Amino acid sequence: MGYKHDPDEIVAGGVALVLDEGLSRLSFGRLAKRMGISDRSIVYYFPTKPALVEAVVGRLGQRLFALLDDAFGAEPLTPDEMARRAWPALSSPEADGVFALWFQLVGLASAGIEPYDELARVSLGAWIAWLAPRLAVDDDEDPAAAAASLVATIDGLLLV
């Protein structure tokens, strides 16, 4: 017996659900109903809710990185220049859903709710690891620390 759905299709459905209803509303049953499939079809590819949530958050993170790749270009930039270039991309309607999800993730993590607390740490680490090699920093400066500072600056700007 073959399955007529694939993991990418299920993740895309999860992304749509999360953008419409919020991260805390993602469940096997709700996603299955939205997609018109059995929840067993979802469990076949994502055996746990944390696996499904991680895949959905990861896909949205890829959207964020694509937006920023376009804004930053190929050459390393100073943190100030990165923030300046990032702002138009990150304050666009395309990015609104991604950051709404990010702030939901942080809020759920702050409440100590699994799997969100671990996933927020992993997501933040991935964002810092992605930014660090793109930063032009002094030789005595830690690129990861500069990237973490940039993330905090951008998050603060988006909250305002």
Question: Vertex 59, ends 133 and 97: CA angle to 5°?
Answer: 100
- Calpha distance 155→120 (Å, rounded): 14
Question: pTM of the predicted model, to two decimals?
Answer: 0.86
From first to last of the 160 residues of the chain, give the pLDDT tens digit: 455 788 999 999 999 999 999 999 999 999 999 999 999 999 999 999 999 999 999 999 898 888 889 889 889 999 999 999 998 888 888 888 888 888 999 999 999 998 899 999 999 999 999 999 999 999 999 999 999 999 999 888 888 7
Helices (H), 37-142: 39-45, 49-72, 79-90, 93-110, 116-131
Token pair listed for 22: 């919020």
